[in-house]
Copies of this chain bind each other. A is one copy, B any other.
């Protein structure tokens, strides 16, 4: 049955990867947990199958001429899609986003880096750096969200610093207020353009 993947996706998008258990999945399919192992090697493989289906649905956007703009469009697209499925980051991380169904995206990004003046090895390095930045951004965002949800208090505050160590840590003290608001705003594009600029201008 391929419904296994469909039902798994429903669970995972609604409640996250940790909600997907073989027992739960079997129950929703009205069979026994062990029946799953006829169709899927183990839980990891199941997650990969779900991910592949989601990622295959990403639509190819219209791409601007300018390579720098193209890079922004492509990476922001990827970032947006992954933000919707933060559980996927863990699955993806090991493979540098090598699911066959998004190879067009990787190819487009590499092409844009090349068009911007990088040679092929440099484009690969740049690709991996931005990929790490993207993964990290989503990972930290997700971890922060989860933690603030569990404990219902604001994320680890920096305010203690402003009270205790005004003189020894002037910069932290100065930022105490802005820190929390900065965290909320979507800072992905700013880091992205810094990273792209850095790679392009060095080339």
Q: Which residues of A contact B (CB under 8 A)?
A: 90, 93-96, 98, 100, 103-104, 106-107, 110-111, 114, 120-121, 123-126, 128-137, 139-140, 143-144, 146-147, 155-158, 160-161, 165, 168-172, 174-175, 178-179, 182-183, 187, 190-191, 193-199, 201-202
Contacts and interface: CB of A to CB of B under 8 A. Distances in A.
Say how many copies of this protein the assembly contains. Answer: 2
A125 B193 CA distance: 12
Report whether over half of chain A's contact residues are helix, strand or loop; otherwise say mixed: helix
A143 B103 contact: no
The 5 closest A-B pairs by CB, nearest first: A136-B136, A194-B198, A129-B191, A132-B136, A198-B198
A106 B136 contact: no
A115 B50 CA distance: 47
Contacts of A194: 126, 129, 194-195, 197-199, 202
Nearest to A112: B171
A124 B202 contact: no
Contact of A140 (B100, B135, B198): B135
Nearest to A93: B143
Contacts of A132: 133, 136-137, 139-140, 191
